[in-house]
């Protein structure tokens, strides 16, 4: 990454004020005589306090606790049959990247070993602009309608009155929104507590689109598979670590890289044509579903390696700003409504958290020159020089400056064809709960987990749900698990000493409202 240390003094430098003037006695405030009152003229002292008073910026509203490092992405397999992205069509091409891994619900001082999904965010600095992959360590998510996101997050955070985490709110919300069952099953399985930040996989979860310059495109999902495998901590070890070393994840990532054991991942894609999507059992835009491997096999495309620790955590990790809307030509968002909502939310929060010109910070700046008409604003230190302030519409694109000479303005990007895409229907299809919503969590429970893993899942859920006070919330949550698998629910009921419960009443899969995916509708 471009060095944010460019103006930092080297070892042995003379102590200075913030305007670079040497200070003879930095540990002594100027005063009248040896014991008299302090002097307003002591810029060093006043500046020191004033800057200290302003050191904190808002922490991320979610994913506040995290660790990060730098490295590189490399294309290992040519994808030119399905995309015209330059990075992904030349084997051996590399892009420098910055990664940040995080827990979701806790504050910036919370424990790295919490049972929580993990954020898995990468910023790939490509020759066509920054491509951010803002993923999680689970292939699905709790909800599929973005209107549910803020209230959902509130139920996982602190109660407005007690300022305590609230097991009743947690399960009340999830059991009322049963599309969450798949993510909840993964969260309370072994993978709910990864062993540090570098021993886990990352998944796009969302469907994206890979596009070619002839206008053709495929849907895609991305899987970053940890080369060392997905390692987990057992619940007791994680609980002990949260007391003894809440920064376990940050520490182990830093020390692993420091020791030269660079963590690496192999990157795969799944692809689906628009025609396949029409016949897919689930809605291709449904973030609570995976694409079964046997129908949509993983295809290798690249790898990435983390080989450089940050020199300055705040500058390079706290200030890094990832956004699912930071996309590059031929790598596009699908109409998944949660993804569409995220396209807005991240740059919006960056403007609040880091400021209007957040993209100019060294860690966020693309390696490509920026050429547009966004100018000024607080802390504009790359203000695009003398280039004119508007785009000419005459050909060739040019601008007559006030001295009568011609200057260039940014020219339009020449792209062969824009493609059309399907946008209709997603909301209605995604709002209804049917038996379809329990098929994949059931497959996880019945086919992927072994007996011992099933027993740990039961114990993990019971440990949390047992903390809820409301009998109604417990009963509804048991029905929610009964919809996945009756024996799972019965085992949890037994463990928390509650009556057994019947599955939730939902429509059968055959009555799910299905929308056909018209490829030609205008975007």
Cα–Cα distance measured from residue 487 to residue 451, given in angstroms and rounded to the nearest whole number: 12
Contacts of 26 (CB under 8 A, 6+ apart): 15, 44
Q: How many residues bind ligand HEM (CB under 6 A)?
A: 27
Binding mask 104-143 toward ligand NDP (x if CB under 6 A, else -) reads -----------------------------------x----
Coil vs helix vs strand at 480: helix
Contact 94, 367 (CB under 8 A): no
Cα–Cα distance measured from residue 401 to residue 49, given in angstroms and rounded to the nearest whole number: 46
Q: Residue 290 interacts with ligand NDP (CB under 6 A)?
A: yes
Per-residue burial over 177-198, b if 16 or more Cβ lie within 10 Å, else e, is: bbbbbbbbbbbbbbbbbbbbbb
Taking the least distance from each CB to ligand HEM, the nearer of 218 and 320 is 320
Residue 191: which of ligand HEM, ligand NDP, none does it interact with, CB under 5 to 8 A by kind?
Answer: ligand NDP
Q: Residue 197 interacts with ligand HEM (CB under 6 A)?
A: no
The annotation status of 282 as a binding-site residue, yes or no, is: no
Q: Residue 39 interacts with ligand NDP (CB under 6 A)?
A: no
Cα–Cα distance measured from residue 132 to residue 228, given in angstroms and rounded to the nearest whole number: 23
Q: CA 424, 428, 433: angle at the middle one, nearest 5? A: 140
Pick from 240, 295, 344, 320: which is nearest to 443 by CA? Answer: 295
Given candidates 226, 285, 338, 462, which one binds ligand HEM under the rule CB under 6 A? 338
Residue 452 backbone dihedrals phi, psi, to 5 degrees: -65, -40
Q: State the minimum distance, in angstroms, from the CB of residue 440 to ligand NDP.
A: 4
Pick from 114, 162, 156, 120: which is nearest to 137 by CA? Answer: 120
DSSP secondary-structure letter at 317?
I
Contact 396, 110 (CB under 8 A): no
Q: State the minimum distance, in angstroms, from the CB of residue 316 to ligand HEM.
A: 12
Whether 63 is catalytic:
yes
Residue 189: which of ligand NDP, ligand HEM, none does it interact with, CB under 5 to 8 A by kind?
Answer: ligand NDP
Whether 77 is catalytic:
no
Given candidates 1, 4, 45, 60, which one binds ligand HEM under the rule CB under 6 A? 60
Q: State the minimum distance, in angstroms, from the CB of residue 294 to ligand NDP.
A: 6
Residue 448: which of ligand HEM, ligand NDP, none does it interact with, CB under 5 to 8 A by kind?
Answer: ligand NDP
Residue 230: which of ligand NDP, ligand HEM, none does it interact with, CB under 5 to 8 A by kind?
Answer: ligand NDP
Taking the least distance from each CB to ligand NDP, the nearer of 70 and 191 is 191
> Quick one: 89 exposed, middle or buried, by C-beta within 10 A (0-12, 13-18, 19+)?
middle
Given candidates 72, 230, 313, 427, which one binds ligand NDP under the rule CB under 6 A? 230
Q: Residue 134 interacts with ligand HEM (CB under 6 A)?
A: yes
Residue 63: which of ligand HEM, ligand NDP, none does it interact with, CB under 5 to 8 A by kind?
Answer: ligand HEM
Given candidates 85, 114, 186, 285, which one binds ligand NDP under the rule CB under 6 A? 186
The binding site for heme consists of: 346
Active-site amino acid positions: 63, 136
């Amino acid at each position: 990454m471009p060095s944010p240390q460019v103006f930092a003094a080297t070892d042995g430098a003379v102590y200075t004020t913030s305007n670079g003037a040497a200070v003879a006695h930095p540990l002594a405030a100027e005063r009248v005589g040896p014991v008299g009152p302090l002097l307003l003229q002591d810029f060093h002292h006043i500046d020191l306090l004033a800057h200290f008073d302003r050191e904190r910026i808002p922490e991320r509203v979610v994913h506040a606790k995290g660790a990060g490092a730098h490295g590189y992405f490399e294309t290992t397999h040519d994808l030119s049959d399905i995309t015209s992205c330059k990075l992904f069509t030349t084997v051996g091409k590399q892009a420098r990247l910055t990664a940040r891994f995080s827990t979701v619900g806790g504050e910036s001082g919370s424990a790295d070993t919490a049972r929580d999904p993990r954020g898995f965010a990468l910023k790939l600095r490509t020759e066509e602009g920054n491509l951010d992959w803002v993923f999680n360590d689970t292939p699905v998510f709790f909800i599929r309608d973005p209107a549910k996101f803020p209230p959902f997050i509130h139920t996982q955070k602190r109660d407005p009155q007690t300022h305590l985490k609230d097991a009743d709110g947690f399960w009340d919300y999830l059991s009322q929104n049963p599309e969450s069952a798949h993510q909840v099953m993964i969260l309370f399985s072994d993978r709910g507590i990864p062993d540090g930040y570098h021993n886990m996989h990352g998944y796009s979860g969302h469907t994206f689109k890979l596009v070619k310059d002839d206008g053709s495109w495929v849907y895609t999902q991305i899987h970053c598979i940890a080369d060392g495998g997905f390692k987990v901590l057992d619940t007791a070890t994680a609980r002990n670590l949260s007391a003894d070393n809440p920064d376990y994840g940050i520490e182990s990532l830093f020390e692993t890289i420091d020791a030269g054991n660079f963590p690496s991942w192999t990157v795969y894609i799944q692809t689906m044509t628009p025609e396949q999507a029409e016949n897919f059992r689930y809605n291709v835009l449904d973030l609570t579903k995976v694409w079964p491997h046997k129908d949509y096999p993983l295809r290798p495309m690249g790898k990435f390696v983390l080989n450089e620790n940050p020199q300055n955590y705040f500058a390079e990790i706290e200030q890094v700003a990832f956004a699912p809307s930071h996309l590059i030509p031929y790598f596009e968002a699908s109409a998944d409504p949660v993804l569409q909502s995220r396209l807005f939310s991240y740059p919006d929060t960056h403007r609040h958290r880091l400021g209007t010109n957040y993209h100019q910070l060294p860690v966020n700046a693309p390696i490509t020159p920026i050429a547009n008409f966004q100018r000024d604003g607080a802390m504009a230190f790359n203000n695009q020089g003398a280039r004119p302030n508007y785009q000419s519409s005459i050909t060739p694109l040019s601008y007559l400056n006030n001295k009568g000479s011609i200057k260039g303005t940014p020219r339009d990007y020449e792209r062969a064809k824009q493609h059309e895409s399907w946008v209709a229907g997603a909301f209605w299809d995604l709002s209804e709960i049917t038996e379809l919503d329990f098929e994949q969590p059931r497959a996880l429970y019945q086919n992927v987990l072994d007996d011992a893993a099933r027993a740990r899942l039961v114990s993990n859920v019971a440990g949390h749900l047992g903390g809820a006070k409301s009998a109604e919330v417990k009963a509804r949550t048991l029905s929610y698990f009964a919809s996945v698998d009756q024996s799972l629910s019965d085992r949890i009921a037994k463990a928390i000493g509650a009556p057994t419960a019947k599955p939730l009443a939902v429509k059968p899969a055959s009555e799910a409202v299905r929308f056909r995916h018209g490829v030609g509708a205008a975007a």
